[in-house]
A and B are shown apart, each in its own frame.
Chain A
Amino acid sequence: IAGITQAPTSQILAAGRRMTLRCTQDMRHNAMYWYRQDLGLGLRLIHYSNTAGTTGKGEVPDGYSVSRANTDDFPLTLASAVPSQTSVYFCASSDSTDSYNEQFFGPGTRLTVL
C-alpha cells in the first residue's frame, strides 16, 4: 500500500531517555519533513531533507536530530527527551519537482515525556 508510515503510534517516555521516531515512505518522494503539532500552535517544522544524504533545520530543531541515508526512511531522534517535547509528531513527504510540492502526511506519533 503506497503511502507514509510512522512508528510507534504512541509512546510514553521518561525524561532523559533517547528515542527514535521512525518514518518510511514508498512513494519515491525526494523530500521529507518532520513536524510537531501542539495545541494552539499548529504544525511547526523541526527538520527536513530535500534529498537522500542532505538535511536541514526547520523552525524548532533544538533537541532533535535526523538522518537521511536513503530515499525511503527519515528517522527523528530525541537524544535526551524533555517534557517540553511532549507533542504529536508528523512525518511528511513530497515530490519537490512537482509544480506545487504537495506534502503527504503520515498518521503521526503521540509522544509523552514524563
Chain B
Amino acid sequence: GQNIDQPTEMTATEGAIVQINCTYQTSGFNGLFWYQQHAGEAPTFLSYNVLDGLEEKGRFSSFLSRSKGYSYLLLKELQMKDSASYLCAVLEADYKLSFGAGTTVTVRA
C-alpha cells in the first residue's frame, strides 16, 4: 500500500492563493491525481501528473517531483466555491488508486 500525507485543513481569504502539499511513499508509481470533493458530493477530477513539473489548468496548477515523492496543488484567485476537500491520490503499479485523507479548504470572505 501507500503512505499518502496531506494537511487536514487549510483556511484562506477570497482572492488569495493556497498551496496544498502531498507527500507519498511508494514502491510503484503510475501518476498522481488531485480530486475536488464538495461536501455531500462525489469527487471530481482536477489534475493528473506523471512527469516531473508543473501542469497548469486555469486557476489550478499541480506540481510533481517523483524523486522527492512530493506534489502540490495550487489554487489561485480563490473563490467561495473553492471551499471543498482536495484529495491527493497515487496510481499504484497495479493501476489502483490510493487516496490521502483529504485537505479541507475553507475560503473566507
Residues of A within 8 A of B (CB): 33, 35, 40-45, 48, 58-59, 90, 96, 100-108
Cβ contact of B45, chosen from A43, A59, A102, cutoff 8 A: A102
Contact of B99 with A42 in the complex, beta carbons under 8 Å = yes
Pick the contact of B43 from A43, A96, A101 — CB < 8 Å?
A43
What are 11 A-B contacts with C-beta separation under 8 Å? Answer: A33-B97, A40-B8, A42-B87, A42-B99, A59-B1, A59-B98, A90-B43, A101-B30, A102-B33, A102-B45, A106-B42
Q: Contacts A100-B48, A105-B44, A106-B42: A42 and B97 contacting too (C-beta < 8 A)? A: no
Main secondary structure of the interface of B (DSSP, over half): loop
Tell whether A100 pairs with B101 under 8 Å between CB atoms, given A105-B44, A108-B42.
Answer: no
Q: How many A-B pairs with Cβ below 8 Å? A: 51
Q: Is the CB of A102 within 8 A of B48?
A: yes
Task: Decide if A48 touches B96 in the complex (CB within 8 Å).
Answer: yes
What's the tally of chain B residues with a CB closer than 8 Å to chain A? 24
Q: Which residues of A contact B8 (CB under 8 A)?
A: 40
- Residues of chain B lying within 8 A (CB to CB) of residue A40: 8, 101
Chain B residues with CB under 8 Å of A44's CB are: 99
Cβ–Cβ < 8 Å partners of B45 in chain A: 102-104
